[in-house]
């Protein structure tokens, strides 16, 4: 009887070779999404948290060290962890988000020349406000 060899099977080598070039792409995507998240923290009406949640997911696939770095950021990490735990949004954040949606829709409404487009845009804004108020949990 021959002892088992330590060389991986051809299938394992192929799977490893295919995932190696993809990991840096996940990390790069994570940095792009982080940049969008930081822009969202500064610009009113542009959400930041959703980009950080997506960035954390990208980092998790690419390099867990970058995910740990993102989760260790003081405000951002807590937002991502709360989302992952299903805890919802603080009431203050809900008010800010709904106000930003209302302001963004009202300021951009005059730039839409067609009435159907204006009505559609208002409906999109109202759906966003409905979703935040009704569907997203309020964190205590």
Q: How far apart are CA 137 and CA 87, in angstroms?
A: 7
Confidence of residue 125 (pLDDT cuts 50, 70, 90): very high
Residues 94 and 115 in one domain: yes
Q: What is the pLDDT of residues 82-93, one digit of tens each?
A: 888 888 888 888
Q: How far apart are CA 33 and CA 39, in angstroms?
A: 10
- Asked if residue 51 belongs to a domain, the reply is yes
Which residue would you say has higher pLDDT here, 119 or 87?
A: 119
- Nearest Cα neighbor of 104 from 40, 35, 36, 49 is 40
Residues 82 and 101 in one domain: no
Confidence of residue 112 (pLDDT cuts 50, 70, 90): very high
Note the pTM of the prediction, 2 decimals. Answer: 0.63
The pLDDT value recorded for residue 9 is 56
Which residue would you say has higher pLDDT here, 51 or 3?
A: 51
**Which residues span the domain enclosing 124?**
88-140
Residues 83 and 101 in one domain: no
The chain-wide mean pLDDT, for the chain, equals 84
Give the contacts of 64 (CB within 8 A, at least 6 positions apart): none
Residues 75 and 61 in one domain: yes
Q: Residue 55: pLDDT above 90?
A: yes
Residues 67 and 81 in one domain: yes
Average pLDDT over residues 75-79: 87
The pLDDT value recorded for residue 4 is 52
The pLDDT value recorded for residue 115 is 94
Q: What is the pLDDT of residues 16-54, one digit of tens each?
A: 545 567 889 999 999 999 999 898 888 766 778 888 989
Residues 129 and 94 in one domain: yes
């Amino acid at each position: 009887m021959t002892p088992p060899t330590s060389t991986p099977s051809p299938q394992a080598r192929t799977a490893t070779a295919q995932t190696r070039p993809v990991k840096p792409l996940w990390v790069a995507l994570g940095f792009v999404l982080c940049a969008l998240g930081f822009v969202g923290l500064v610009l009113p009406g542009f959400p930041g948290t959703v980009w950080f949640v997506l960035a954390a997911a990208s980092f998790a696939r690419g390099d867990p060290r970058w995910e740990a770095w993102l989760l260790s950021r003081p405000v951002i990490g807590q937002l991502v962890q709360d989302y992952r735990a299903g805890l919802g949004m603080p009431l203050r954040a809900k008010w800010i988000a709904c106000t930003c949606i209302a302001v963004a829709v009202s300021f951009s409404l005059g730039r839409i020349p067609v009435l159907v487009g204006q009505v559609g845009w208002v409906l999109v804004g109202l759906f966003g406000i409905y979703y935040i108020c009704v569907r997203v949990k309020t964190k205590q």
